[in-house]
Structure 1
């Protein structure tokens, strides 16, 4: 395990991350063993992010904001860390928990078939009920493993993962051509599907945890699901896999409603209906993004920068 950690690069994508960096830098400093490098790719922050990263002694690579892309920037890290065997990707607002998180995240790579491992994401201490439920639903305490044979039955759940807190075997990532770059988001699930198709294995490792959650408004949920609908429209392979798991969204809604009812949160029940409506409308619009003017796509997207390149 010590040798594996020494062949690992941790990559963090940042933009005006000053509020998040104290906790994240402390978590990185608490690692009991040194990694090959910690690389921050910063999109020209105009706060103190760059100075804080440099003061901590980590590598800093700056890009223009116009150059950023979820897949594109992570592929840049793939090039900059060409001498690493494993790459761990974090977002600035995902803070690993405990000193052994990296050891647990890398442990499944003892199996040579494993190409991708993603960890458990926990809700913030002040998270709303909806925020906590979403994390508990999508990141349960039970480990999970999937391969190509699981796609027909499990569909999108077989490729679910999150680049906010995930590790990759670099050779496998390079084998599939890196992350798709012409997607508004979901480059993690798209590459997971391609890895499974090449015979690799995806693992969910709940022993490795990071605090990372968002309390989205109805409008934000609509925008997020517009991007998800666009993802499905753009990536034919993911779209076909999604159809194999139809009903998963409704299972989430039913479980969320049951949790709100159990806590006697009637106001939360109304909020669930409103957020579900926002998700449905956003997703439906995203599937039909080709019929919308570019100005409206930018308005509806949570990642408007994506459309500036379209």
Structure 2
């Protein structure tokens, strides 16, 4: 049996983190160690972890945090065959999260399957899509489910990005899927440690999208990425428009800084398709206010993204007002 460690970057973890830790201790597939890379020691209550003998905490400062380097640090503290990266607010829906991820990683059937009832953001698979995938799966990401706190539009986007059927992606899917080929969210993602080391892990200095950057390297090296719809976590954010602007500014910066990954691949079309589908769904339900909110949120996302893509034309003062990750610019 392959060993699995769970690695969690944490910052001011709350009630969801407590539930997450409880669920990780009750998995049907045993978790070897839970490694928490915690930003600022004062913000983590150690008492909530005292009953868990397999939990290890490494504290770092806010100035040391980096989306790539912090996760690489966590991986360096693990000796497991596989490691599961999670965020501190992603709660396993049931006790079979790890089991389902490992099953997908080690499965022999690597055939492409339709991604959902309506195809989700991956489109309906045709007969030609259902070809044998001969690449070894090197990472498996799970399905993120909306929660009661999710807005109506977020519930739609969760279903759009995380459909109800599993599939496998290789670099051959790039012409069909575009930017979604590299989508592999490490809110909940299981990785092969040997492949991760072979590819030198995440970039050590990145503002965002470390998971997509790594997935790009992985697929280009001849490995496959899998999505496991049966591995489910509860994960919700209810960002307002200004928060989305800041978040998408950093997303745009990451794309501008990594042209070898994102250059020549348009990502706006995917967002437009999501907004159109979401708006139509809301209007059919008579949710006028929610539709207006969606338009506002979407506009903020787009403005932030375009500003981020063109950040080199902006003053440092403007950049510091727009970014979420101020230490990145130190």
What TM-score results when the alignment is normalised by the length of structure 1?
0.93
Task: Kindly indicate whether the alpha-carbon contact (under 8 Å) linking 1:15 and 1:45 is maintained by their aligned counterparts in 2.
Answer: no
Pairing of 1:33-112 with structure 2 (within 5 A): 33-57=29-53, 58-81=55-78, 83-111=79-107
CA distance in 1 between counterparts of 2:325 and 2:185 reads 17
* Matches of 1:155 and 1:180, distance apart in 2: 22
In terms of mean alpha carbon deviation, does 184-193 or 41-50 score higher? 41-50
| Native 8 Å contact 2:29 2:99 kept in 1 | no
Q: CA deviation at 1:20?
A: 2.5
| Structure-1 residue corresponding to 2:140 | 117
How far has the Cα of 1:48 moved from its partner?
Answer: 4.4
| Alpha-carbon distance between aligned partners in 2 of 1:54 and 1:306, rounded to the nearest angstrom | 33
Taking a change above 3 Å as real, the CA distance of residues 73 and 134 of structure 1, as seen in their structure-2 partners, is same
- Answer yes or no: is the 8 Å Cα contact 1:43–1:68 preserved in 2: yes
CA distance in 2, matches of 1:262, 1:46: 48
Give 2:250's match in structure 1, choosing from 210, 227, 234. 227
Cα 1:256–1:96 change in 2 (3 A) is same
* Aligned equivalent of 2:119: none
Note the alpha carbon deviations across 1:285-306, whole angstroms, 9 max, x for none: 0011112222322221122232
Question: How does 1:123-272 map onto structure 2 within 5 Å?
Answer: 123-240=146-263, 242-243=265-266, 247-272=269-294
In structure 2, the residue matched to 1:276 is 298
Structure 2 gaps of 5+ residues are 108-134
Q: Distance in 1 between matches of 2:38 and 2:234?
A: 21
Distance 1:284 1:110, change over 3 A: same
Find the residue that maps to 2:140 and give its secondary structure: strand
Size of the aligned set, in residue pairs, is: 302
CA distance in 1, matches of 2:238, 2:105: 33
How far apart in 2 are the matches of 1:295 and 1:45?
A: 30
Structure 2 Cα separation of the partners of residues 9 and 296 of structure 1: 40
Residue matched to 2:9? 13
